[in-house]
Amino acid sequence: MNKYSTIQRKILVEYLEKHHDFALSAARIAEDLAGENISVSAVYRNLAALEEEGAVRRMAKSGERLAYYQYVGMEKCRNRIHLSCTSCGRSFHLDVKEADGLAEALLETEGFEINREETVLKGLCAECRAQG
């Protein structure tokens, strides 16, 4: 059950690592990897496995019905709240200190304990905002 137990898994993980700052739909991933030595079902099965291992995060875009996946297997992604730009689709991490502040404030005022792994803040990133 190693990270690279099979060639297919390696292909998928390397692809995901390369695109770790985007949330991509499973269908899109499968399509992109169509030329490679990995089948559609292997893509889906490995995504599910990686999700269970915590290396991949499953999310969804509002207005779409596809399952979106994002690689969060690298250190810098762990325990971070994500910011997702609805214009360019890129994903950013919220600074730890800020996230702590937000989490604390929510807990005190609302009694709500935020789950950083699942929380995605939607909006416009600085770049897209500048471009109008």
Partner DNA sequence: CTAGTTGCAAAGAGTTTGCATGGCG
Partner DNA sequence: CGCCATGCAAACTCTTTGCAACTAG
Cβ(56)–Cβ(71) below 8 Å: yes
Query: Total residues contacting DNA (rule CB under 7 A)?
Result: 25
Among 27, 28, 45, 92, binds a second copy (CB under 8 A): 92
Strand 24-25 relative to strand 68-71: parallel, antiparallel, unpaired? antiparallel
Question: Quick check: 91 binds DNA (CB under 7 A)?
Answer: no
From the list DNA, a second copy, none, pick the one residue 91 interacts with, judged by a Cβ distance below 5 to 8 Å according to partner type.
none
Question: Quick check: 6 binds DNA (CB under 7 A)?
Answer: yes
Please state, in angstroms and as integers, the Cα–Cα distance from residue 114 to each residue in 62, 69, 80, 92, 122, following that order: 20, 21, 11, 18, 16
The DSSP-derived string for 25-57 is EHHHHHHHTTTSS--HHHHHHHHHHHHHHTSEE
What residues from 15 to 44 belong to the interface with DNA (CB under 7 A)? 25-27, 30, 37-42, 44
Q: Which one of 2-10, 87-95, 101-109, 124-132 is the stretch in contact with DNA (CB under 7 A)?
A: 2-10
Instruction: Please give the residue ranges that form the binding site for DNA (CB under 7 A).
Output: 1-2, 5-9, 25-27, 30, 37-42, 44-46, 48-49, 65-67
